[in-house]
Structure 1
């Protein structure tokens, strides 16, 4: 009962896919998780609708110290593999903006399909289990749990990253990888809201949302931004957060689809500046953007210097965030196990034969939009094909 071909630590996206792939090959698989059921992060992904992949996926959507690492796994497991899997299980899906694919009903449809498929292929699950010790003795891994001991020649670490601790995320995967000699690239909360100084010019605008372009470190994204009590959030902020480092300034174009100069020229010379901009922005935002001394000026009264100030405020608003909202609000973890010591084809450790690392525990960070969940499927698939 305690001897297996493969032990998988973690019943998340990469662990489940690795388990199913290995079990289909006739492997005897055990999956261990400290949660009470499988796929907790899958269930809350995409607002509960599971943004399971992205049609426009490419290696360029991933950030890793080794830029080539994710290419092999992604080439062998495409978005259409996931579409086919959902279709086989009659799970309806839809394409949303930016080529994102979501379940139309519930993320639970995906977790239930994966879990039930695993059971059909005789995968054994142990939930609500704490891992007390992991050793390699000869050719076998010895995994100690609270009340039992298990052995296998192959061990897959699919324990995820530190983001979303409220969903059970921990740093256990990094500790285990380090135990076997792996270096950990410093981790950080990614795809996360940014916090602003208490005295920044655009405070007290919580609830206002609008499309903007944000630039930082030679990267830029255009999408909706939401003002919050602590700073800014929304898709565009989550995207840029993956490229922001503490101390960096960000530049926000609050009117990316139009030119302030053109708007003022079209308005004519007589209207007041505040009235013209109030038609382009929510009233509270317009008031915060316009310097007090310019609010009652007509367009014709604006000097060249006034125009430069307005242009900087609207098209190049620059601010230095004080930080992020941390792992509790992060949708993914940046950093992780250094991939230079992991096979890009099989996810096997180069330092310890039989040890595999998949999913978010690795130093592979995807953009917002289904890319991180797809990496979980693809890396789990790569390991499941060979264990």
Structure 2
């Protein structure tokens, strides 16, 4: 494999049309030629942080097959740039493209900690695990500057409320002391996404994420500090990382993971066009094969929105992948399990401190 993305450091290689807009924007060849003659940059490829002010921060999740009931996202858009990311489509709701805009126009919800605290203090709110990063990574590069995830963890600790985290960034270790404090009362679990053991694969699939070595080290540190970790082998992409399921499972089990979960890649909405463009530019030698195998997992389509089948797929290739994951669980996680989060303490800490009466 000799991957050659045309826009370095990014997953998507274009901005696709926003389906909610009547008009579209394109960069024409004559404009590019003009920029070249004038010595100007047609696209500076910079990331912008844009403040937004939503009225709420916690969302009820209606989907029956994503394994969470409530989620929150301090950031919309994600600089990690994972080419397969299902969250890309949500950027269209904010008026941006699911392509490069998703990676370069990061919306920052600076009031997230205040909004979270207001919710947890409500008499009507009953404790239920809230997942940070249900859509975009709460430890993406923006977190270094804004520290919203850290502030929200402090709120969860103050009110003794259960929280789960999904991330693929080693920045989570910055908040190790907070995580340890939450873990003492069984109020935290972490889900780390590790999709490959190959740095070459990681760089093209997830260009601005932590290295595989860093993620395995992060997993080990969290586990050594009694913070329960599940590893997301997700998504599994035929002929890209599908051959790594067993070695991946062994590596994360050895590093301390208590369980694994997986999905088979699905390319809904604008993601199909973005992924197809990317793979034809980045991995042209296998592009058609990969796209056809993904289609074979979803009834002949890249797009699959059917509850019950969209995550696991169907057909022979999907069946092989799912069987390998079951085998990996039996082989490497036989006597392991993730603990259930504690929802019993929060009511006593509704005001941020223990009620004596």
Normalising by the residue count of structure 1, what TM-score does the alignment of the two structures yield? 0.24
Higher relative CO (Cα under 8 Å, sequence separation at least 6) belongs to: 1
More helix by share: 2
Normalising by the residue count of structure 2, what TM-score does the alignment of the two structures yield? 0.26
